[in-house]
Amino acid sequence: MMLRHTKPLLKKLRYLSALGQKAWRSHSSSARERALHYGSGQKIHGFTVEQVTAIPDLFLTAVKLSHDNTGAQYLHLARDDSNNLFSVQFRTTPKDSTGVPHILEHTVLCGSEKYPCRDPFFKMLNRSLSTFMNAFTASDYTMYPFSTQNAKDFQNLLSVYLDAVFFPRLRELDFWQEGWRLENENPTDPKSPLVFKGVVFNEMKGAFTDNESLYAQFLQNKLYPDHTYSVVSGGEPLAIPDLTWEQLKQFHATHYHPSNARILTYGDLPLDQHLKQIHEEALSRFQRTKPDTDVPPQPHWDKPREHHVTCGPDALAPDPTKQNTVCMSYLLGDITDTFEAFTLNLLSSLMVSGPNSPFYKSLIEPKIGTDFSSVVGYDGSTKEASFSVGLQGIAEKDIECVKHIIGQTIDDIIANGFEEERIEALLHKLEVQMKHQSTSFGLTLASYVATSWNHDGDPVELLKISENVTRFRQCLKDNPQYLQEKVKHYFKDNTHRLTLSMSPDESYFEQQEKAEAEKLKQKVEALSDNDRKQIYEKGLELLSIQSATQDASCLPALKVSDIQRTIPVTPVEMGNAGGVPVQYCAQPTNGMVYFRALCSLNTLPDDLKLYVPLFCNVITKMGSGGMDYRQQAQQIELKTGGMSVSPEVIPDPADLDMYEQGIILNSSCLERNLPDMLHLWSDLFNSAHFDDEARLRVLVLMAAQELSNGVSHSGHMYAMLRAGRTLTPAGELQEAFSGMDQVKFMKRIAEMSDLTAVLRKLPRIKKHLLNPENMRCAVNATPQQMSAVSTEVEKFVGVIARKKKDRKVARLNVIEKPLDPMAGSGFIPGSGASRKLISEPTFKPCQMKTYFQLPFPVNYVSECVRTVPYTHQDYASLCILGRLVSAKFLHGEIREKGGAYGGGARMGSGGIFAFYSYRDPNSVQTLSAFRNGVEWSKAGQFSQQDIDEAQLSVFSSVDAPVAPSDKGLNRLLYGVSDEMKQKLREELFAVTHKSLTDVANRYLGIGQRTCGVAILGPANESINKDPSWVVR
């Protein structure tokens, strides 16, 4: 697990998203009010309170403490949110690229003093109702957060986390498994060649195939060449084999110490209890040390520098001759200067964000490249922040030109400044982000304060956002040149400036392979016969440990009986606005209104379907009514929290051969802006612009680039979609909208020299899609606002143009079902609110094996089986079986033995049971692991405890908190009611050993149901020779 920073554009602002909440629950005993009673100087369980601060904007109280004996720093954020969070972070500042902090992050999770079983972390995933569990390695810190809504679970997880980070076993075999090792290719055959294996080794090989992250890594290394930022904290694949087990243990001893730790808790659980447990179980066993982990300031250059690097070619790049990246990066100020960092962050957004920003106009619109470089805007993830701007997808000859434009644009900004309206739009965005509530607010805050706090910045200052806004406004008022002066100081006059260009090299992967072979040869040649014998024996030992039945009884666990039997009902009200069904869901939304609409695409001719994702992507970005696209973008920023459209294929919950097809309009705004936002929507319905080919090209290039970049980090999703493509009618359309077919389609569009033909299709699509005849809406807002909101929605429906029902496509078999999923058989089609589903009762699923040969050194493998829909009685058993076989069998085979980053199986709501692997060194072998997983399931070699764990794990996702903005959406959009959820819940509780082996036998065995297979990966001889595969 790794945190890698790409696209740091507006990162800080994104972290802020979802601030604010639950003001309605302000009774006197609230957690935030109780926390105000702590006094500074007060001693509690080995800690001393340093400061107590009310932060009304975020509805929380911050309590800062320090641990008396060790100096460990502690921040508690008391807030009336039941999704409690714990996080501990250590400043980890490596001096080499062996990946020591990253390998350590993995290895501490392999067993500890009190919990000596293998992999307690992964096991806790199945013994808890956690809403989040993970670990991250950043450039200069390592962080271990979890969250849960259950108090007992919090204590359990806290105990496991504390023991893992402070008292891990760090055995040599753990290091071998997680880090790197030499091992016989076939561990049971001492004659098979020795190869490098290890989870992090493979993970980083995978990460380095992603050109965007590769570029981000190079940029940071070269902009800060004098200390820890000059190395790869995650590990450079070929430097990883230089790390020894001794060095790993040493790094732990010096870095994972309370004196180098920062601990954060968040939520409504009492602070006293946390402090007591943390002191007693961990901190009381340490004495203060002086950790030497500070990052010194980067010495400033007296003149700018330039570097050039190479990368692998991108087989999916829209234009193969345009695969270069160039950007300029500027070293800014220290991030612990909170207000300066706030200002520079806002300033950076003004410079690069949205079509009205100067760099968008000067770099994106001339279409020199496909998109901004992967690193763009403000990046505060290092001790001193940086700002970067540049382009990817450019021709080599344009590199100079881009550099020139960047300098020119900075001069223009200094001369002209920014429009006041843009500054207002940005501050409005901050206000919206403070009000919108996500479900992972604790994690958002922990990540938000992590970097500055890591360098001893004051985390509480960071939380005082409105104070910073007020001060910012004052600075602008006092000095109209305020921002321009900053630009002059930090950009024009800044000599610590790096220009980094990156070009593809046809032989890049070959060279990497050669270098790896060379490294391997070096290591192998140095071995004595005795070494080889030991390697073989250790390989066998590892294999036998990995194959042994595991005893996890030392770990704490919740019981299935701790899970709530029933779910709370979400009340909604159905209304009707001029014939359009509208669902109103009253929620504590903190003054925000959320408006969604689903528009059917049943009447759309088939030849236009592949264009629907493109249509969705551009419809809100081409201008409408009296506004060109710039004015439109400005209005969207000024008046809304965002307006977007996405294609949606919704499998019917009751029938695998039925699905609904449509697009979803998604938007939010402050209550006062609802009329403006609905006006923006009605402009799109009535008079969207489709006349600007140059604008369309900009958007097409960006979309194609984004899809192409996405394949290497979501390869398993693409493999799953492809494998499921021929199994259901919905699967085929899903692949067309978001699978490899779409990636290739967009690449073709981006290559076209003339987009007029494409442009002409867009209004045709719009006629079919943006039509109130085929629409239903959902609104979430506060109860007080509901009647005003419904009036506005009625007005909106009243003004959007209505089309005649003349485009019924006869070929399609459309079935009407009542919108209320529980309406039963009394429903008469045409009589009221309904969902219009496409039915293909004669659909014949067929088996298909597809191989996408791509220039990656790792594979993404999937096998999908057509099973049963959501409401079928066997659905619950298949859900549990997915978790069970993932945790108890596939994890061991694919990750531990196979060396893949991840792998497992899961049941999808569309009735597809999917096996998958992620960043996998194997391909065909993984397919056998899937099959062995089925045999394992059929044989039923699992215990009741295993089943209980799988149930807990399924429930922790079923019961994941839902934000007020999203409540009730399942019902309106997907036809899944609370009653259906409750029924599934009862079936999940009722799953037995017998029902699990039974579904494995009836659905997953060979010849039982049709299955599909897909692999994305490098050239593969055995598959190329096998005629049953379709190679693409």
Shortest Cβ distance from residue 900 to Zn ion (Å)?
Answer: 12
d(CA 1016, CA 860): 5
Phi, psi of 534 (to 5 degrees): -65, -40
Between residues 491 and 918, which has the closer beta carbon with respect to Zn ion? 918
Rg from Cα positions in the chain: 28
Kindly state the tokens that stand for 761: 């299709």
Between residues 1 and 540, which has the closer beta carbon with respect to Zn ion? 1
CA 1030 to chain centre: 31
Number of residues that bind Zn ion (CB under 5 A): 3
Residue type, 1018: P
Between residues 204 and 498, which has the closer beta carbon with respect to Zn ion? 204
Shortest Cβ distance from residue 221 to Zn ion (Å)?
Answer: 19
* 270, burial (CB in 10 Å: exposed 0-12, middle 13-18, buried 19+): middle
Between residues 80 and 896, which has the closer beta carbon with respect to Zn ion? 896
Shortest Cβ distance from residue 6 to Zn ion (Å)?
Answer: 16
d(CA 438, CA 162): 27
Shortest Cβ distance from residue 161 to Zn ion (Å)?
Answer: 17
Kindly state the tokens that stand for 156: 């359990």
Between residues 220 and 373, which has the closer beta carbon with respect to Zn ion? 220
Shortest Cβ distance from residue 735 to Zn ion (Å)?
Answer: 30
Shortest Cβ distance from residue 709 to Zn ion (Å)?
Answer: 20
Between residues 208 and 852, which has the closer beta carbon with respect to Zn ion? 208
Between residues 217 and 345, which has the closer beta carbon with respect to Zn ion? 217
Between residues 243 and 582, which has the closer beta carbon with respect to Zn ion? 243
Of residues 103, 306, 113, the one with CA closest to residue 219: 306
d(CA 274, CA 162): 12
Catalytic residue from among 33, 105, 525, 792: 105
Q: Using H for helix, E for strand and C for coil, what is the string for 248-315?
A: HHHHHHHHCCHHHEEEEEEECCCHHHHHHHHHHHCHHHCCCCCCCCCCCCCCCCCCCEEEEEEECCCC
Phi, psi of 143 (to 5 degrees): -130, 140
Q: Which residues contact 850 (CB under 8 A, 6 or more apart)?
A: 722, 723, 1012, 1013, 1014, 1015, 1029, 1030, 1032
d(CA 697, CA 703): 10
Shortest Cβ distance from residue 232 to Zn ion (Å)?
Answer: 13
Between residues 203 and 516, which has the closer beta carbon with respect to Zn ion? 203
Helix, strand, coil: what percent of the chain each, to 5? Answer: 45, 20, 35
Kindly state the tokens that stand for 489: 């100081």
Q: Do the bridges between strand 43-44 and strand 47-55 make them parallel or antiparallel, or are there none, so unpaired?
A: antiparallel
Shortest Cβ distance from residue 108 to Zn ion (Å)?
Answer: 12
Taking CB under 5 A as the rule, which mask of x and - marks residues 530-569 in contact with Zn ion? ----------------------------------------
Between residues 85 and 109, which has the closer beta carbon with respect to Zn ion? 109
Shortest Cβ distance from residue 200 to Zn ion (Å)?
Answer: 6
Between residues 447 and 632, which has the closer beta carbon with respect to Zn ion? 447
d(CA 722, CA 719): 5
Phi, psi of 331 (to 5 degrees): -80, 125
Please choose, out of 195-203, 207-215, 442-450, 504-512, the segment that lies near Zn ion by the rule CB under 5 A.
195-203
Shortest Cβ distance from residue 916 to Zn ion (Å)?
Answer: 18
Q: Which residues contact 38 (CB under 8 A, 6 or more apart)?
A: 44, 49, 52, 63, 271
Q: Which residues contact 244 (CB under 8 A, 6 or more apart)?
A: none
Task: Count CB neighbours of 38 within 10 A.
Answer: 20
Q: Could you tell me which residues are beta bridge partners of residue 84? A: 148
Of residues 282, 227, 231, the one with CA closest to residue 259: 282
d(CA 582, CA 571): 14
Q: Which helix (H) or strand (E) holds 669?
A: strand 658-670
* 777, burial (CB in 10 Å: exposed 0-12, middle 13-18, buried 19+): buried
**Within 197-256, which residues bind Zn ion (CB under 5 A)?**
203
d(CA 508, CA 902): 26
Please confirm, yes or no, whether 105 is among the known catalytic residues. yes
Between residues 1 and 608, which has the closer beta carbon with respect to Zn ion? 1
Select the residue interacting with Zn ion from 1, 401, 414, 812 (CB under 5 A).
1
Spatial contact of 684 and 353, defined as CB atoms under 8 Å apart: no
User: What's the count of helices (H) and strands (E) in the chain, helices before strands?
Assistant: 36, 31
Residue 2 binds Zn ion, judged by CB under 5 A: yes
Shortest Cβ distance from residue 204 to Zn ion (Å)?
Answer: 8
Q: How far is CA 410 from CA 394, 416, 547, 551, in A?
A: 21, 10, 61, 62
Q: How far is CA 239 from CA 228, 234, 419, 524, in A?
A: 15, 11, 49, 16
Between residues 240 and 730, which has the closer beta carbon with respect to Zn ion? 240
Shortest Cβ distance from residue 120 to Zn ion (Å)?
Answer: 17
d(CA 61, CA 26): 13
Q: Which residues contact 319 (CB under 8 A, 6 or more apart)?
A: 370, 393, 750, 751
Residue type, 213: S
771 in helix, strand or coil? coil
What are the residue numbers of the active site?
105
Q: Which residues bind Zn ion (CB under 5 A)?
A: 1-2, 203
